Amino acid sequence: MPSPTSILRCAAAWVLGAASAFAGDERPSAFDAPSKVKPGQVGLLKSKDMGMGYFLRVPKKLDTKSGARLIVFLHGSNMNGLDYLRSFESMNWADDALLCCPNGEQGSDPFGQNNFTFGSAPFVADVTREVQKAFKTKVTYVGGHSQGGFLTYSVITHFPELYRGALPMAGDCWMQNEPNLWEGQPEVLEKQRRVALAVIHGKADPVVDFSQGQHGYDCFRAMGWSKLRLFAPAELGHQFMLSPVQEALDWLDAMNGIDEKRALELASRWAKDGEWGWVLQALESAQASQPKLQKDAEAAAKQATAEISEALEGPAREWLPKWLEFWRVYGASAPAKSVVKKYLERRDKQRGDGARLFEEARALFQQEKKDEAYAKLEKLLQEAPCTYEAYYAVSWLAARK
């Protein structure tokens, strides 16, 4: 009969996607400070201020002058940071980066089963600051798988100043973390929008339904994120190591001006796909002059702006889905500035009505008064079509049975 440990390892291997990640029983040594972990080593630490345990891998070739990327990655439920750190190493993902993998605060064995909670974001931020202070970092990304994916959204909305990119995987955005909650705090929203967001969710995920990943992505699309991408492999289930992590990291790097040559290669590819927002962001971040690409991007944005301006005169149920995609792709371009400004002015005026009507509709749904609830959503689209809640209204009306 297999031992309990081997059974847990088999389960973990299924979640991670490859049993090879668990070859060997080598356990990292404990260190009392991240600066004491040398290049090529993995250390087990506990943050000084809040006491969260974490594993830290310092790359073999650490560039102390220019600094390294710092990737903070959060494990799934009943797992630990070391399992994910070893998975990164097995796949040769981000070998040149500082890799920090915290353990959830619920769990007593750093090498066993641990879990995060709804209140874990401050602990993760504390670990992030500790590692940032110990090393020169040129950019910091945070990501997570499954339970860690849910937590990633919480981390970037509450502590956006610490990160420049995020990789939430097989998770969703908790109601407490939806970005519209900061609509009254424009300075916080501005920091949040600087975080490039690469959402990864397999369409064949049997554990966390794909609709949840789509919802998380749409929450930020409905708030005008332009540095936003959804990776949705059709055959991917819940396995971490089969996910397009490297592709997502390449995209995040391009959004942040890391590796100019690679960013320009990707920008040329994205131009063929019509992803002009990513093209402009990559060129701006890399401070690269590519006149033809820039000219083509501006021309596409000008045409799209004219088309969406005309569409905005029609019924909200028709133009709102088009607007969300226009905002994501062209929102940061020069031709789109005037129409985006006008839309945001309308949103600000309609915000109170949108929130009120949406809450009334939700209360009616809870009372099983569906016809009245749908009528309330229709009214919302008429009176407050530019609000965040209008995205939900269109979505729920479209799914009406």
| pLDDT (average), residues 338-367 | 96
Q: What is the pLDDT of residues 19-66, one digit of tens each?
A: 444 444 589 999 999 999 999 999 999 999 999 999 999 999 998 888
pLDDT at site 399: 87
Query: Would you say how long the chain is, in residues?
Result: 401
Q: Are 116 and 52 in contact (CB under 8 A)?
A: no
Query: Would you state the pLDDT for residue 17?
Result: 67
Q: Rounded to the nearest 5 degrees, what angle is found at the Cα of 213, between the Cα atoms of 211 and 216? A: 110
pLDDT reported for residue 239: 96
Q: Is the pLDDT of residue 264 over 50?
A: yes
The order of strands in the sheet holding 196-200 is 29-30, 42-46, 53-57, 98-102, 68-74, 137-145, 165-169, 196-200, 228-231
pLDDT at 268: 94
Torsion of CA 267, 269, 272, 274, to 10 degrees: -50
pLDDT in tens, 219-261: 999 999 999 999 999 999 999 999 999 999 999 999 999 999 9
- Rounded CA separation 103/285 (Å): 33
Q: Closest Cα partner for 17 from 230, 200, 199, 272?
A: 200
Q: What is the pLDDT of residue 400?
A: 87
Answer yes or no: is pLDDT of 358 > 60.
yes
Mean pLDDT estimate for the chain = 92
4 has a pLDDT exceeding 90: no
The predicted structure's pLDDT at residue 19: 41
pLDDT confidence band for 396 (50 / 70 / 90): very high
Q: What is the pLDDT of residue 15?
A: 65
All structural domains of the chain, each given as residue ranges with its CATH number in brackets, are 4-258 (3.40.50.1820), 290-398 (no CATH)
Tens digit of each residue's pLDDT (9 = 90 or more) over 76-100 = 999 999 999 999 999 999 999 999 9
Q: What is the pTM assigned to this prediction? A: 0.92
Q: Is a pLDDT exceeding 50 seen at residue 11? A: no
Q: At which residue do the structure tokens 């909650």 appear?
A: 181
**DSSP H/E element including 198:** strand 196-200
- pLDDT (0 to 100) of residue 74: 98
Give the per-residue pLDDT at 25: 57
Average pLDDT over residues 290-319: 94
Condensed to tens digits (0 to 9), the pLDDT of residues 158-196 reads: 999 999 999 999 999 998 889 999 998 999 999 999 999
What own/partner pairs with CB < 8 Å and gap ≥ 24 does 128-133 have?
128/70, 128/72, 128/100, 128/159, 128/162, 128/163, 129/162, 130/34, 130/47, 130/48, 130/49, 131/34, 131/56, 131/70, 131/72, 131/98, 131/100, 132/70, 132/162
Q: Decide which of 254 and 14 is more confident.
A: 254
pLDDT of 9 over the 50 cut:
no
The whole-number average pLDDT for the span 339-350 is 96
